[in-house]
Amino acid sequence: MAGGNAIRGSRVGAGPMGEVERGDAAPRLRISFWCSNGHQTQPSFAGDAQVPETWDCPRCGFPAGKDQDNPPDPPRTEPYKTHLAYVRERRTDADGEAILAEALAKLRGEV
């Protein structure tokens, strides 16, 4: 004999979901974007939304554009620089020699 629970196995709000119950869907645009690796992505935008010029590729992270034949260039990443590399950008070898000579003279007690 079955139990007396008539809604067993269903959840609140369960039932057929159609356009009548949910209302009409908003108009959408699917725009294609291509990255420099040739990946295509098609995000969906609202019909009245402003579509951006570039979109980040979900596969590689590079910027993607709307022109398949001319995608945007990937961003240029600079390698890690050490402290010494930054010092060498600011000072010439002659400046470094003068600073070193001054520091050595100070250590030797000549100054």
Q: Is 66 annotated as a binding residue?
A: no
The count of other CB atoms within 10 Å of the CB of residue 35 is 23
Q: Is 56 annotated as a binding residue?
A: no
Q: Is 39 annotated as a binding residue?
A: yes
Which positions ≥6 away from 75 have C-beta within 8 Å? 62, 63
On whether the CB atoms of residues 57 and 48 are closer than 8 A, the answer is no
Query: Measured on CA atoms in the order 89, 94, 96, 99, is the torsion positive or negative?
Result: negative
Name the DSSP class of 101: H
Q: Is 35 annotated as a binding residue?
A: yes
- Which residues are part of a known binding site for Zn(2+)? 35, 39, 57, 60
- Which residues are part of a known binding site? 35, 39, 57, 60
